[in-house]
Amino acid sequence: MNTQARQYWILGTVVVAGLALGAACQTGGQTAPGAAAPADLASRTYVPVGEWDKYYAFLSGGQSGAVYVYGLPSGRYIRSIPVYEPRAGYGYANVPGTETYEMLAASGPMWGDTHHPILSESGGDYDGKHLWINDKANSRIARIDLRTFETKAIARIPNLQATHGIAVVSPDTSYIVANGEFQAEIPQGRLDTDSYGAVMAFLDPMTLEPRFEVLMPGNCDINDSSKDGRWAFTTIYNLENAVTVEGMIQREEDAIGAVDIHAAEAALERGEFREINGVKVIDPTETTEKVLYVIPVPKNPHGCDVTPDGKYVLGAGKLSPTVTVIDISKIDQVENPRDAIAGQPDVGLGPLHTTFDGRGNAYTSLFVDSQIVKWNIEKAIAGDPTYVIDRVDVHYNVGHTQATLAETMHPTGEYLLALNKLSKDQYLPVGPTMPEAQELIDITGEKMTLLSSFPAEPEPHDAVFMLAEDLSPKVVQTEELTADAVPEDGSRVERVGPDEVHVYMTAIRSKYGLNDFTVKEGDKVTITLTNIETIRDMSHGFAVEGYGINLALDPGQTRKVTFVADKPGTHWYYCTWFCSALHLEMRGRMLVEERG
């Protein structure tokens, strides 16, 4: 750690210590782990062999660039969905020349930093169609099709640096809102520190292209939308517009920004925008109708969460021990924006994110206190001193927390996941880099019960859940044949030019459509491969020795790869997915003739 970094760390400690002294922290509940016996707890997360979990959990894979799928309550890891990573097999072959590789490479680097998975909604409930995930490091967003669990689109968002909070605009996914966390030049592309700004981008959910962007008075951190499609909210922690950590904590208050989407759409119609990098950018200081409302919130707020009934938006204080409750119906009714604040309960130290059970209770993660605090929203607004209902210790330093279906209008209020940043002593040590801890909490009762813990790769970020009964019937088992599929009798080699060859092949247990094919050294070879299996879970692979090629094909799927056959000789290709007793024999030869 260099001296400067050490100073920042010390500064962070000072800020937190100051809060600890100043915090009049309500402790209405007591710190008590579940009193139940371990065997009872275990039975509450046990899923017998052959049975399914009740919930899918989609977790952001942090710097791995993936989305992880777990089952809840068991905590069983089911699979990972490659998004911003060139993984061989499903999703991406890590060689140029495959569609999926090209999709990733066209949008930026071959890695990403994922934070926030969000699910598509219809009528305010999850419809099981799409999942989006941000890439903070490269200002991107991606869409995953939940029928196949495959990444279908990735785009870099113009005029924005560090895509952080993303949210679906409820109730019908009219936009995806993406936040720019870092202030930088707008337009980007030349050094001009005077023109720093940040935008909230309103994207087309399918193409991910911005339909418009709104210039914000500070940076944009975490966001959410109202349940009626009208408002997009963001926390702003750098209203100072500073470029150093010291500068970013100067003010006692930052803000929640509320963008009136209808007013923004009206501004677009009136032509009240500037076109920057091909995007319509609205400057809210120049519109006829008021587009942006700025509500003061203490201090460097983080989480931004709308209650399931759509009445309130909550800003978690981070450097203030409070959560600010804003009455959404008052935002455009009051002269003084502070009058839209319905309450500001103390909850504990380092509040980061809040989630809901649909029964009027909020659950806020406390990073510094390493706790989840359960509190009643209406009681807190009414000033009833018993608003804190319970606290449970988590291990340790919890960031996001999410309850089952809490982002919809109908949370199930059954489980809550605490996604902890540090596990310290919780698991077998595996070197200085420790896994992080995810803890499952039962929230069906008045008191919370900590049920179980399961590790995550550093670092676990956010999670969203779907009921298995809502999603599993929509997941396809075999892909539909596409127009470019190779038919059963269609395996062949076509020379299309003096140095260009197209190879078409099928794969079915336990044979490729061609036992061998011959090309010339230096030929550009395009292989089109179709898995013509029609039964579920019969995947085949296709790796070519020495060429760095590995495709994975689901039943019915067609994949292509283009490469230059620059190494003469015999190169076996073989199946990389164990598919039958003759799996090892499922292979063939690419014969590369020397050019004489």
One symbol per residue from 119 to 158: x for binding ligand RUQ (CB under 6 A), - otherwise; what is it? ----------------------------------------
Contact between 221 and 165 (Cβ < 8 Å): yes
Binding residues for ligand CUA restricted to 530-569, rule: CB under 6 A: 540
- For ligand RUQ, the binding residue among 158, 315, 358, 399 (CB under 6 A) is 399
Among candidate residues 279, 285, 200, 186, the one with its CA nearest the CA of residue 234: 200
Site for ligand CUA in 497-516 (CB under 6 A): 510
Between 54 and 400, CB nearer to ligand RUQ = 400
**Residue 523 touches Ca ion, criterion: CB under 5 A:** no
**How long is the chain?**
596
Residues with Cβ within 8 Å of residue 395, at least 6 apart in sequence: 370, 420, 423, 424, 425, 426, 437, 439, 453
Select from 252, 578, 593, 595 the one that contacts ligand CUA (CB under 6 A): 578
Q: Does residue 187 have a cis peptide bond before it, meaning omega lies within 30 degrees of 0?
A: yes
Residue of 82, 577, 587, 592 interacting with ligand CUA (CB under 6 A): 577
The SS3 call for residue 427 is coil
Which residue of 54, 87, 116, 143 would you call a contact of ligand RUQ, by CB under 6 A? 116
Answer for which of 443, 579, 590, 592 binds ligand CUA (CB under 6 A) is: 579
DSSP 64: G
**Binding to ligand RUQ by residue 301, rule CB under 6 A?**
no
Q: Which of 23, 84, 87, 115 binds ligand RUQ (CB under 6 A)?
A: 115
Q: Tell me which of 391, 395, 400, 511 binds ligand RUQ, using CB under 6 A.
A: 400
Of all residues in this chain, which one has the CB nearest to Ca ion in the complex?
Answer: 254
Q: Give how many residues touch ligand CUA by CB under 6 A.
A: 8
If one asks whether residue 374 binds ligand RUQ (CB under 6 A), the answer comes out as no
What is the C-alpha end-to-end distance of the chain, expressed in Å? 59
* Residue whose CB is less far from ligand RUQ, 399 or 413: 399
Q: How far is the CB of 575 from ligand CUA (least distance, A)?
A: 3
Give dist(CA 191, CA 178) in Å, integer.
24
Query: Radius of gyration of the chain from Cα atoms?
Result: 26
**Residue-wise DSSP of 319-367:** SSSBEEEEEGGGTTT-SSGGGGEEE--B--SSEEEEEE-SSSEEEEEET
In whole angstroms, what is the distance from residue 514 CA to residue 492 CA?
A: 7
Q: Among all residues, whose Cβ is closest to ligand RUQ?
A: 399
Q: Does residue 300 bind Ca ion (CB under 5 A)?
A: yes
Q: Report the DSSP beta bridge partners of residue 449.
A: 442
Q: Does 586 bind ligand CUA (CB under 6 A)?
A: yes
Binding mask 74-113 for ligand RUQ (x = CB under 6 A): ----------------------------------------
Q: Which two tokens stand for residue 209?
A: 């292209």
Q: Which of 430, 447, 441 is nearest to 463 (CA)?
A: 441
Q: Which does 540 bind (CB under 5 to 8 A by kind): Ca ion, ligand RUQ, ligand CUA, none?
A: ligand CUA
**Tokens standing for residue 455:** 């590790």
DSSP state of 209: -
The neighbouring-strand residues paired with 503 are: 493, 527
Question: Apex CA 10: angle with CA 6 and CA 16, to 5°?
Answer: 145
Rule CB under 6 A: choose which of 130, 140, 164, 520 binds ligand RUQ.
Answer: 164
One residue of 279, 543, 552, 575 binding ligand CUA per CB under 6 A: 575
Q: How many CB atoms are closer than 10 A to CB 288? A: 10
Least distance to ligand CUA, CB of residue 99, Å = 21
Q: Which run of H or of E encompasses 263?
A: helix 261-269
Q: CB under 5 to 8 A by kind: which of ligand RUQ, Ca ion, ligand CUA, none does 586 bind? A: ligand CUA
Verify binding: residue 318, ligand RUQ, rule CB under 6 A. Answer: no
Which listed range, 155-163, 174-182, 242-250, 527-535, lies at the site for Ca ion (CB under 5 A)?
242-250
- Give the one entry of Ca ion, ligand CUA, ligand RUQ, none that residue 330 binds, where binding means its C-beta sits below a cut-off of 5 to 8 angstroms depending on kind: none
Distance CA 201, CA 209 (A): 9
Contact track, Ca ion, 446-475, x by CB under 5 A:
------------------------------
Of the pair 240, 442, the CB lying nearest Ca ion is at 240
The Cα–Cα gap between 178 and 186 comes to: 16
Check residue 181 for interaction with Ca ion (CB under 5 A). no
- Residues in contact with ligand RUQ by CB under 6 A are 115-116, 164, 302, 352-353, 399-400, 461-462
